[in-house]
Amino acid sequence: MADRPERGRSERGRPERGRPERGGGGGPRRRGPRQRSAQRPAERARTADPARDVAFQTLTAVSEGAYANLELPRQLRRAGVSGRDAAFATELCYGTVRMQRLYDAVIGAAGNRPVDQIDPPVLDVLRLGCHQLLAMRVPDHAAVSATVALARQHVGAGAGGFVNAVLRRVSEADPDTWTERVTAPLTDEVDRLALRESHPGWIARALRAALVGNAAATPGTATQTLAALLHAHNTPGPLTLVARPGLGAEDELGDAGATPATLVPTAWTLPGGDPGGLAPVRDGRAAVQDAGSQLVALALAGAPLDGPDEQWLDLCAGPGGKAGLLAAVAAQRGAALRANEVTAHRAELVRNTLGAVLANGGRAEVTVEDGREVGAAEPDRYDRVLVDAPCTGLGALRRRPEARWRRTPQDLTALGPPQRDLLRSALAATRPGGVVVYATCSPHLAETHFVVNDVLKKRTDVTLEDVRPLLLDRAGEPLPGTGPGPWAQLWSHVHDTDSMFLALLRKH
């Protein structure tokens, strides 16, 4: 076969105008015959194209500890990459990070050596090549040639030869064959599923327990449901914006092509593009925010109260997404919000977030204090308190692709005491008759049920109330699928949100 681009594709494997690249970032799903090349890939490109170079630079930084969602935009700006090339780089980068475990197994099998014997930069290049071959519609010859060029440019000619050999071996089988080949030695069903969907085994088992613990699955259906959840983590979620109430962003979002999301009254879905280019986002009247986070803030704001409703507290406010929504709702009711954050640099992010509300006459302040000490300093003061506790983030894995490789079971041990201390502080800061919402972006039972139960079993002045009636969609109807109560658990594969947990506690 001649070295021609696939119909509807550019020479470098990107789709031509009007034929968008397949998104997803998911696992190996490509089907159909491969595109062979009579020309040796190693003989073609000598330098990487800008989009793949951006993906490689980002992957290298992530391997050294950077966050992909912060590093990728920086690399795109540095390289001057935008538009379709930026979309290609984003898919390549995020998809590669997500599917790293599966790709490492494939690379180890194709290279006949464990991946820990491969130099990290070479391994990063090979992972990028695997994603193009196994999960994107890039023709084989383009994927191999461009990836070999990447290796030559950043690592050396010798590495280019090794990368060429491994990727040509990878290209000899389709994704399903590779997946079956590398998972076959595993005898445990959850372990096989974890490798197939590229998650650490301990996370897969913890999420399975969370599904059963929240009655989202039975022991008999848990593995099948877990498969849907893990796959959802490998599928990019919608680009969701919040229109902060009372600031007049809705019409402009609609004019920009965003549509009202049905799940949350304040949520809008943007079909694509850079939300940072929208005027309401630039000036803080709107922001990118997962719908699950919006539901948490609105649940706190919607809880019924007896007595005054004037003082609201966001105890762990950084970086400020929920505080921004709470401040806007509080301003509509004449209430004041204190947004507290323990670190100064995150507190500055909160200040920026609250700027639009303050400019519109709202009352809000940002404080820098250890949230665990606020209750003792200001007992019985606040009417509504949010504890968005620091957690493992296991419910936000589709938005934070590297998190699954950085978290360990030891993190749960470290996070447990401050989560309990923050909830105790929040209850101390709440006046009798006031309410606290405890929330995490993790469904892990050690960060949700166990924390709330541990704190409550030592108190007789707090009641755990049913929070589910407060989770209302745009039509005002309660959200289905949040569990038997009284707390609620959102799921990425059910609600298309982060897997947020929230509980409502009332102090007497």
Ramachandran quadrant class, 257 (left: phi over 0; alpha: psi -120 to 50; beta: rest): left
Q: Which of 196, 63, 35, 32 is nearest to 125 (CA)?
A: 63
* 28-34 contact pairs (CB < 8 A, 24+): 28/99, 28/102, 28/134, 28/135, 28/175, 28/176, 28/178, 28/179, 29/135, 29/175, 30/134, 30/135, 30/136, 30/137, 30/174, 30/175, 31/174, 34/140, 34/171, 34/174
**Residue for token digits 């912060």?**
70
Report d(CA 138, CA 142) in Å as an integer. 7
Sign of CA dihedral 291, 471, 487, 349: positive
Task: List residues forming the annotated binding site for S-adenosyl-L-methionine.
Answer: 316-322, 341, 370, 388
Distance in Å from the first CA to the final CA of the chain: 77
Report d(CA 421, CA 433) in Å as an integer. 21
CB-facing half-sphere around the CA of 375: CA atoms within 13 A: 19
Report d(CA 83, CA 77) in Å as an integer. 12
Q: Name the phi and psi angles at 102, rounded to 5.
A: -65, -45
Query: Which parts of 159-293 are beta strand (E)?
Result: 239-243, 259-260, 267-270, 286-288
Catalytic one among 93, 130, 391, 441? 441
Q: Name the phi and psi angles at 203, rounded to 5.
A: -70, -40
Q: CA of 198: how far to CAs of 28, 143, 202, 380, 402, in Å?
A: 10, 21, 12, 47, 11
Report d(CA 198, CA 389) in Å as an integer. 27
Q: Are 283 and 478 in contact (CB under 8 A)?
A: no
Report d(CA 420, CA 432) in Å as an integer. 20
Q: Are 16 and 185 in contact (CB under 8 A)?
A: no
**Helix count and strand count (H, E) for the chain:** 21, 12
Task: List residues forming the annotated binding site.
Answer: 316-322, 341, 370, 388
Q: Are 492 and 398 in contact (CB under 8 A)?
A: yes
What torsion, rounded to 10 degrees, do the Cα atoms 332, 430, 354, 310 define? 30
The strand pair at 501-507 and 462-465 is best described as: antiparallel
Is 391 assigned a catalytic role? no
Give the active site residues: 441
